[in-house]
Amino acid sequence: MAKQPFACGECYRILPEPENKKDIVQCKHCPNAPVTTDWQGYVIILNPERSEVAARLNVTSPGTYALKVNIR
């Protein structure tokens, strides 16, 4: 079974797996935001200026994002 990637609790960006497994996972865009594996939906934004989905999610840079992130 594949390991669930982390998502940022603030910008909803899907975070890459750290190179060293002992490293702490954190978002480079929101370093103080909580991260979690409790998220749903997956969207890839290629051109946020022309994307209606990016506008609804308030996304301004290309990348992979979760649609819903649950932070407890």
- Domain assignment present for residue 47? The answer is yes
- Domain assignment present for residue 15? The answer is yes
- Domain assignment present for residue 2? The answer is no
- Domain assignment present for residue 55? The answer is yes
- The reply to whether the predicted model has a pTM over 0.75 is yes
| Residue span of the structural domain in which 32 resides | 7-69
pLDDT at position 2, please? Answer: 62
pLDDT at position 61, please? Answer: 95
Could you tell me the CATH number of the domain that includes residue 31? 2.20.28.90
Query: 1 falls in which pLDDT band (50, 70, 90)?
Result: low
- Structurally, the chain folds into a number of domains equal to 1
Number of H helices, E strands in the chain: 1, 6
Each residue's pLDDT tens digit, 18-46: 777 777 889 999 999 999 999 999 999 99
E strand or H helix at 35: strand 35-36
Query: 4 falls in which pLDDT band (50, 70, 90)?
Result: confident
CA 28 to chain centre: 11
- Domain assignment present for residue 1? The answer is no
